[in-house]
Structure 1
Amino acid sequence: MARSTMYLGVVGSAVLAVGLGFGWPSFVLADEPPAQTTPFTGTGGEANTVPGAQEPASPIPSPTVQEEPSSPTEGIDIQERGILPGLVAPGASLQITAPTPSLTAIRNAIKVTSKSISVNLRIPAKLPVTVPVEISVGYISPAQAQRQTKTYSPTTGLTLLYREAEGDGKPRAMHLDITVRELVPNGKSFSVSKQFTITPLYRAIISPLKFLMATQCDTVGKSDITFQWRYFDGTFSEQKFDLGFNETKMVNHFNSARSEFSTEANLKEPVFKFAERDIGEYISPLGYSGTTLVPGPTKEFSFFLDEGAMGPPPKQHSGSTKCKAHISYRIDRSLMTFDQF
């Protein structure tokens, strides 16, 4: 999964529409396909003035688009290059004028990226900023609302790292309210808002399964076991082995893992059953799981399972007195964050 990236642009109090139909023009730099996010849309606010100026406002020229020479790959489909639909492809540069030179430098350098529940805003160091400038960002979604405020440093730049709440784990709309202002008397300011989609991404690891023969299922010798299971994507598998009473078999192929997937993948917890093989005996087909893999906590499974019953059972029990096994395995689940992308 790659990141989605946007540059934010404003021209004084005027609205410049570039491919989005409304809102401030956005400049995208992306070197990988987009993560599970939808195209950014947004609107810019009016420039505000606080009485008593110290840094004079610069005149507001007409917006211009400065195009660099096209690269050899410019003609390929932008979806394959990770560019969000409706935004500007690499090779074009949008220089936007804000109320003052310092705000203009900040405005053209703001970069917002998002992946999973991570939303990162960065402004590089060494910009021609001559007065203290404060950046305040409000993060608003159905899961939570928070605000972060920080002053830009010409030496180190500025980074705001935000992690959205997991909530129900489903994709949801995220609204960013960004306000930039000069921290001087009569300082100028501007604001801009952006909307996009947050899609929580998960990692899940299912351990090998430990199968312990809890009863003597065959009257003579060891029990001939057929163990069947479905992975979290529904794929069927089975393994055959012989076990005596109280002997253990590690089903290593039961192990599986997946990362950077969302609830929309509709993955399920694995299901399984076993049978003691007798000549000519019919083994009924294995059903499917109805328990979603995420969201959910890490969990240890340990229970008795009767022959022919599908596990895990809805309730922990000791099993019947007939052929049974003790099953144990673990599912590790975690919500993924991306602070360094």
Structure 2
Amino acid sequence: MSELAVEATGLVKHFTTRKQVTKAVDGIDLQIPTGSVFGLLGPNGAGKTTVVRMLATLLRPDGGSARVLGHDVVSDADAVRGAVGLTGQYASVDEDLTGTENLLMLARLYGFSGVAARQRVEGLLEAFSLSDAGARQVKTYSGGMRRRIDLAASLVLAPRVLFLDEPTTGLDPRSRNQVWDIVRVLVADGATVLLTTQYLEEADQLADRISVIDHGRVIAEGTSTELKQSVGQGAVALRLADAGQRAVAAAVVEKVLGSEPTLPTDPYALTARVPDDGGDAVAALLPALSEAGIAVPEFSLGQPSLDEVFLTLTGKPLPDDAGTETAGDAPRAEEVSR
């Protein structure tokens, strides 16, 4: 068996919207080792979902080639479908059925006998902490429970490759951590996971390697550490005593360090990259802030975040709240035959 679970070369996908051709994916190359988590990180419309749909054989590429577990996604699509699982951005289970009924239906469709199907379903419900909710209709589940039952549905056949398309979008932190734990267990058991996400922390926590994509192209690839090191040797993180002074503080930071600060969701916080030769500038930063009348109760110097990486590469930060893919990434449009 190849050491690469997924290999793509020059993948291209076009769509037509309002009689205009949109290149959703523009020559993407991927190499995903077996037994790893590979992250596709990018904003809405970057091309993440379109890449996943091509690899899962739901869309036919207009150019390039891709193989999953050695099977071509076009000429050997049936073999690919038999070896992969897919959890999309929207729940694929029937909300009017119970969790148990959904999984039993899938197990029987996949060819499990009655007894084997029941055993498989009970094991999945227990693994995803849904045993107590198995008899309830899915429409009564919380957001986190729905994502877990959706993940369970994609694992009925224990796929060797699992595509997770923004699996934690809209979840609260506790539910998100539960999904992360499930992903770690799957990989420990030998599965390969391709994860698309807009959450910087998610990519940082889970992915062995990350491709940053924007406008249908890979603009950087590496481990989280390699990507952070590519934009500088360090970053400063400040926490202000007064959130109302953040704009003034950002101006002081930019003037002293020469880099535009990143403004996290927390109104009291800001971060900024430190240039490679910026030791003297860092030493001058706190006195400059003090001179401007800005109190800084917390100050730290460390690695750049993935947010700084993305800002440097694209000129814009990722959104704080992840949503669904929008125009440019698998739009509802007529495909262009190539």
TM > 0.5 fold call = no
> TM-score by structure 2 length?
0.27
Q: Going by fraction, where is helix more abundant, 1 or 2?
A: 2
Give the greater-gyration-radius structure (CA): 1
Q: Going by fraction, where is strand more abundant, 1 or 2?
A: 1
Using CA pairs under 8 Å that are at least 6 residues apart, name the structure with larger relative contact order, 1 or 2.
2
> TM-score by structure 1 length?
0.27
